């Protein structure tokens, strides 16, 4: 049976050491809640750090035994690991950088080394415990290298990865020195999830620009793997927060309410101490509100909960001092004997205190400068299930703003916007409050943390089935053996070889792909065997092929079949004209003029526009712009528009590589036919041949070829074996 292997930085259980004894208690967080709610029939293992450095070997063994009872497997980290990997690279590099606070990004190789080392330590534990048919689900920014490391050991295992923080734009992400390694690690997963479409879009953009991997509607193909990149917004346990039962003693609940009895309206905010949360900006906006709206003084109280975080880090201690100073200044300026504008608490709340505060608050002001999702906003909405009274002011920079569109959406950096939202919230009538809340509650009831986890796993399982159904037939050792045996036993062979992307890899400059010594040697040896008829069937023009390979005395089909060379003589396909080129060239020249970095390649009977050196998006935009014009012009001129790998080629509609091949098929009898090519123009060759022919596609896209190889190096290896 397949199992679900969950891997996160922290286990759902945290260990504390007191006086040499170990104490276990549940870790807080929505992830544990969501994964605990999955179908109980799915066997689970959870791998992660137990929350405390352990040196003693016996204690480590005891912890393993204790945790194993709950299907938990610890990864033990040293104090130095935590300092360099977690506090260092994770929280001084990835965290600020991915939240757009690049001024706080620390570029230290020591941090990077530790990050790699700890990801490897996790990988070693995973490799010892995973089975080939398991489903693996890796979580968050601390373990972005892990999917790739697992993939190296288990090429066919199903791996999911979810990023719980924002993924930054390409312009921000590209600044990291380790950008390529991070992307390679994440792309080891089969399914990659984000909270919002914006984060997904940024990731796909970075993957293309940095690693060269293109996507089709969020699907990336790498070798024989299909990777699904998608949006899975995380929810909450709605019923838990919707319940009016807080488990708070009545006298304590009464005390909280009494503390707020003198106010008429209550605004709350709840944040971890972090520069991404926009706490100083929010305080300043509240002071601006008091200055510009004195009628609300003594009538509105702002309860601000700030949960301690990383107080030993300079940036955070400076932020704490700033918040303390701002709150103190406002309270000293505006407070009266029975009212303080800001009720500021620097501590954690119990769950009961938290839910009570949600229930009694008139307004929640959740205004981070950047946030992956922000579940506090969703918790506040759920807590209003019974009363249908309350208003949410929400930052447009929080991932939750994509779902909670009936909140008052604000720019957290715009104090005027925040002030206007506070006034709108305070003056909003109960009917509108209920209308907005009900619409948001309806969505949150459906898209819970349970449905988030289930949807992710369902899509990952579907993807694995899709992988099996779409799997192409790669040329394995048995297939290769059969091919080579047929080759050696044959007396009259036809070998049809594409050039670009098959014999030679692609280059930005199409003129810079002249054959290297290995290709020359392969073709020479194949031609020397009198049983072989060797054809290079290419989109390349006649003069280029003649210059590069003409002296080898092999046959050619050039320009997609416009030119044929047999027995040392060139001929042109009858009825082919190039009178159309002047009209089409004007269109292409206009595109080149508007698109620096692109160029026209002119052949005698075709024109090609290359856009390999420019941004993919711009290239596609230009293609869309002139495709209709080209189709209109070419329809009247009996021309064909071919879309290749970053190239558009216009040629006669009456010829193609497959039709050109009949010049040989009609004139000879072959007991062995081999054809190999890499793009859609070579499909015409595969279709022209019978099922007995050995047809091979370079790449793993769907094809009419019988077999597939992954890359040019495998083509050369196969041809070299033929020559022996």
List the beta bridge partners of residue 230.
Answer: 193
Handedness of CA 345, 349, 353, 356 (dihedral sign): positive
Residue 88 per-residue DSSP state: I
Half-sphere exposure in the Cβ direction for 686 (13 Å, CA)? 21
- Nearest CA to 46 out of 146, 130, 157 is that of 130
d(CA 657, CA 496): 10
Residue environment code for 339-373, b if the CB has 16+ CB neighbours within 10 A, otherwise e: bbbbbbeeeeeeebbbbbbbbbbbbbbbbbbbbbb
Residues 6+ apart with CB under 8 A from 418: 281, 282, 285, 286, 288, 289, 365, 367, 393, 410, 412
Pair of tokens at residue 664? 């040989």
The packing angle between helices 179-186 and 197-206, to 10°, is 120
Q: By three-state DSSP, how is residue 475 classified?
A: coil
Handedness of CA 351, 352, 356, 357 (dihedral sign): negative
- Nearest CA to 302 out of 256, 332, 349, 339 is that of 339
* Among 81, 134, 237, 498, the one annotated catalytic: 498
d(CA 326, CA 211): 46
> 135-139 and 225-231: which strand pairing?
unpaired
Residue 115 per-residue DSSP state: H
Residues 6+ apart with CB under 8 A from 275: 96, 101, 104, 315, 316, 319, 369
Terminal-residue alpha carbon distance, the chain: 46
CB atoms within 10 A of CB 79: 10
Residue 324 bears catalytic tag: no
d(CA 457, CA 228): 12
Q: Which residue has the tokens 């300079």?
A: 314
Rounded to 5°, the CA angle 289-290-296 comes to 105
- How far, in Å, are 23, 290, 308, 462, 545 from residue 349 at the CA level? 22, 27, 11, 41, 75
CB atoms within 10 A of CB 205: 20
Q: By three-state DSSP, how is residue 651 classified?
A: strand
d(CA 149, CA 151): 5
Catalytic site positions: 498
């Amino acid at each position: 049976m397949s199992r679900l292997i969950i891997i996160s930085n922290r286990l759902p259980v945290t260990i504390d050491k007191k006086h040499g004894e170990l104490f276990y208690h549940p870790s807080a967080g929505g992830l544990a809640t969501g994964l605990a709610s999955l179908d109980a029939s799915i066997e689970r293992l959870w791998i992660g750090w137990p929350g405390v450095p352990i040196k003693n070997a016996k204690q480590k063994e005891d912890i393993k035994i204790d945790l194993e009872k709950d299907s938990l497997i610890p990864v033990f980290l040293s104090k130095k690991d935590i300092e360099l990997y977690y506090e260092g690279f994770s929280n001084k590099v990835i965290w600020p950088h991915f939240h757009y606070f690049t001024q706080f990004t620390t570029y230290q190789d020591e941090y990077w080394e530790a990050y790699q080392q700890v990801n490897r330590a996790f990988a070693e534990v995973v490799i010892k415990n995973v089975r080939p048919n398991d489903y693996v689900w890796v979580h968050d920014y601390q373990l972005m290298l892990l999917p790739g490391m697992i993939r190296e050991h288990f090429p066919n295992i199903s791996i999911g990865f979810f990023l719980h923080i924002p993924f930054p734009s390409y312009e921000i992400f590209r600044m990291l020195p380790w950008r390529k390694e991070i992307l390679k690690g994440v792309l080891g997963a089969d399914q990659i999830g984000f909270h919002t479409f914006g984060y997904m879009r940024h990731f796909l953009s970075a993957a293309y620009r940095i690693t060269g991997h293109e996507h089709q509607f969020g699907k990336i193909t790498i070798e024989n793997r299909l990777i699904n990149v998608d949006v899975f917004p995380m929810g909450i346990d709605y019923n838990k927060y919707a319940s009016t039962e807080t488990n708070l003693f009545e006298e304590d609940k009464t005390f909280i309410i009494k503390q707020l009895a003198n106010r008429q309206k209550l605004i709350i905010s709840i944040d971890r101490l972090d520069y991404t949360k926009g706490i100083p900006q929010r305080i300043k906006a509240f002071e601006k509100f008091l200055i510009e709206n004195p009628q609300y003084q003594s009538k509105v109280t702002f309860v601000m909960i700030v949960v301690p975080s990383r107080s030993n880090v300079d940036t955070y201690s400076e932020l704490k001092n700033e918040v303390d100073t701002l709150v103190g200044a406002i309270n000293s300026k505006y407070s009266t004997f029975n009212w303080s504008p800001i009720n500021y608490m620097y501590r954690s709340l119990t769950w009961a205190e938290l839910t009570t505060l949600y229930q009694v608050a008139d307004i929640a002001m959740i205004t981070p400068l950047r946030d992956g999702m922000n579940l506090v906003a969703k918790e506040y909405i759920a807590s209003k299930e019974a009363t249908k009274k309350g208003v949410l002011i929400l930052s447009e920079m929080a991932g939750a703003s994509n779902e909670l569109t009936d909140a008052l959406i604000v720019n957290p950096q715009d104090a005027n916007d925040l002030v206007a939202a506070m006034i709108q919230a305070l003056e909003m009538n109960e009917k509108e409050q209920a209308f907005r809340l009900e619409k948001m509650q309806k969505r949150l009831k459906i898209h819970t943390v349970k449905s988030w986890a289930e949807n992710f796993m369902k899509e990952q399982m579907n993807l694995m089935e899709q992988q099996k159904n779409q799997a192409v037939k790669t040329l394995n050792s048995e297939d290769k053996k059969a091919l080579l045996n047929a080759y050696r036993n044959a007396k009259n062979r036809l070998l049809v070889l594409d050039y670009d992307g098959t014999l030679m890899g692609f280059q930005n400059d199409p003129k810079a792909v002249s054959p290297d010594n290995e290709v020359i040697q392969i073709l020479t040896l194949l031609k020397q065997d009198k049983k072989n008829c060797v054809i290079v069937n290419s989109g390349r023009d006649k003069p280029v092929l003649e210059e590069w390979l003409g002296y080898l005395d092999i046959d050619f089909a050039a320009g997609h079949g416009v030119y044929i060379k047999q027995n040392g003589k060139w001929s042109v396909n009858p009825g082919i004209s190039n009178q159309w080129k002047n009209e089409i060239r004007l269109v292409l020249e206009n595109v080149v003029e508007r698109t620096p970095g692109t160029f026209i390649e002119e052949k005698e009977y075709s024109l090609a526009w290359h856009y390999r050196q420019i941004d993919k998006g711009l290239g596609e935009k230009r293609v869309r712009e002139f495709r209709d014009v080209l189709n209109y012009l070419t329809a009247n001129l009996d021309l064909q528009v071919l879309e290749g790998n970053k190239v558009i080629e216009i040629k006669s509609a009456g010829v193609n590589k497959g039709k050109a091949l009949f010049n040989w098929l009609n004139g000879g009898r072959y007991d062995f036919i081999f054809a190999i090519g890499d793009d859609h123009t070579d499909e015409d060759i595969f279709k022209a041949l019978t099922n007995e022919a050995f047809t091979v596609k370079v790449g793993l896209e769907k094809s009419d070829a019988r077999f597939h190889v992954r890359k040019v190096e495998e083509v050369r290896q196969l041809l070299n074996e033929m020559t022996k």
